[in-house]
């Protein structure tokens, strides 16, 4: 019997984000501290078979329609194309978020395995700044990875840039030009309080209106109907593609959010900013049935808040950073 994942506000959840690892080959300020990160023991991370089981149950029993693989950095997980093949067999819209550092060698195998779309995280096009942000001198590898994704036939290829005032907010136009030149969709994401250092403050947020103002100084564009996408989309009037803005802080889209998250260690979280979770790993490894999985996930979705409340007096920051939660 089908069980829709509906929260107390009537929102139906059909988008599953799966973090396949908490590890990364970068040390981005936004995601994790440069030192002192405590990695999960290998035995604590869900196996491919466990991930596939949860995904299958939620697709077949709960109407999940799309799955995105995240991390940490998903490409550091060994034999990732095998997991992609398992999940692609479920017939969902299957995508992945990656930093693209190794995508030159992985783009074709992932595409062949059934991955449909790809999002690439890139916060600077300046070599020195990129090195400062990631602690790695791999900007060329990432740019080559973007080109490899396009060549492999991923459509669309999206490049996500988190804008931080005083760090990369002067790169709005260069990013847009890069997207036009390479045939990819650039999306600017407002800086959210999920940085590992805990230094987030509202004055570091480059907001929606400011992004559009700066973009409009150079390019002409018009809005595209949004639908359920978290991004406000804009098409260039000269036909050279589109870009987007994800205004999670200044114009939150919680009212239309349809996402749930499965962390690398098997926690189901009903929001990126959730303070609690349900432990699916214990159910899976304790002999739980598919019915038990459905009941646990449905119960967690039902407890979802109306919104994250960033900037409000009642907002509480989650204990985990972005690298531990997935995007």
Rounded alpha-carbon distances, angstroms, from residue 75 to 99, 104, 151, 282, 306: 9, 11, 18, 26, 33
Which residues of the chain are under the pLDDT cut of 70? 1, 27, 29-37, 194-200, 227-228, 307-327
**For residue 194, is the peptide bond before it cis, meaning its omega torsion is within 30 degrees of 0?**
no
Query: For residue 313, what pLDDT is reported?
Result: 45
Output the pLDDT for position 272: 83
pLDDT in tens, 276-318: 899 999 999 999 999 999 999 999 999 998 866 565 545 555 5
For residue range 108-159, list pLDDT tens digits in order.
Answer: 999 999 999 999 999 999 999 999 999 999 999 999 999 999 999 999 999 9
| Cα distance between residue 101 and residue 189, in whole Å | 20
CATH superfamily membership of 15-325: Aldolase class I (3.20.20.70)
**Rounded distance, CA 194 to CA 176, Å?**
25
pLDDT of residue 12: 95
Round to whole Å and give the CA distance between 3 and 24: 35
**For residues 62 and 303, what is the distance between their CA atoms, to the nearest angstrom?**
17
Q: Check residue 308 and give its pLDDT.
A: 60
pLDDT computed for residue 225 by the predictor: 85
Q: Distance (Å, rounded) from C-alpha 282 to C-alpha 148?
A: 39
Residue 70 has a pLDDT of 96
Distance set, CA 265 to CA 16, 33, 42, 47, 159 (Å): 15, 20, 9, 9, 27
Let me know the angle formed at the C-alpha of 322 by 321 and 323, rounded to the nearest 5 degrees.
95
């Amino acid at each position: 019997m089908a069980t829709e994942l509906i929260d107390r506000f009537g929102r139906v959840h059909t988008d599953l984000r799966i973090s396949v690892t908490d590890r990364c080959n970068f040390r981005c300020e936004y995601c994790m501290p440069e030192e002192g990160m405590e990695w999960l023991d290998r035995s604590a991370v869900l196996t491919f078979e466990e991930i596939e089981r949860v995904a299958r149950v939620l697709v077949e029993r709960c109407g999940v329609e799309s799955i995105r693989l995240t991390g940490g950095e998903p490409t550091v997980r060994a034999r990732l194309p095998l997991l992609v093949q398992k999940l692609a067999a479920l017939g969902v819209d299957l995508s992945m978020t990656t930093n693209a550092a190794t995508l030159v060698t992985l783009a074709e195998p992932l595409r062949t395995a059934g991955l449909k779309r790809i999002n690439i995280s890139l916060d600077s096009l300046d070599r020195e700044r990129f090195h400062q942000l990631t602690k790695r001198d791999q900007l060329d590898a990432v740019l080559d990875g973007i080109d490899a994704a396009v060549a492999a036939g991923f459509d669309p290829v999206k490049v996500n840039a988190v804008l931080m005032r005083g760090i990369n907010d002067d790169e709005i136009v260069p990013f847009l030009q890069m997207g036009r030149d390479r045939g990819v969709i650039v999306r600017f994401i407002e800086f959210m309080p999920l940085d590992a250092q805990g230094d987030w403050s509202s004055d570091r947020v480059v907001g929606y209106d400011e992004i559009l103002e700066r973009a409009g100084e150079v390019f002409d564009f018009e809005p595209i109907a949004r639908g359920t996408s978290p991004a406000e989309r804009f098409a260039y009037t000269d036909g050279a593609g589109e870009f987007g803005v994800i205004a999670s802080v200044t114009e939150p889209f919680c009212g239309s959010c349809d996402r749930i998250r499965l962390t690398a260690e098997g926690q189901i979280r009903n929001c990126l900013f959730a303070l609690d979770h349900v432990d699916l790993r214990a159910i899976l490894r304790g002999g739980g049935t598919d019915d038990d999985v459905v009941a646990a996930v449905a119960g967690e979705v039902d407890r979802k808040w109306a919104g994250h409340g960033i900037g409000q007096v009642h907002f509480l920051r989650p204990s985990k950073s972005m690298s531990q939660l997935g995007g």
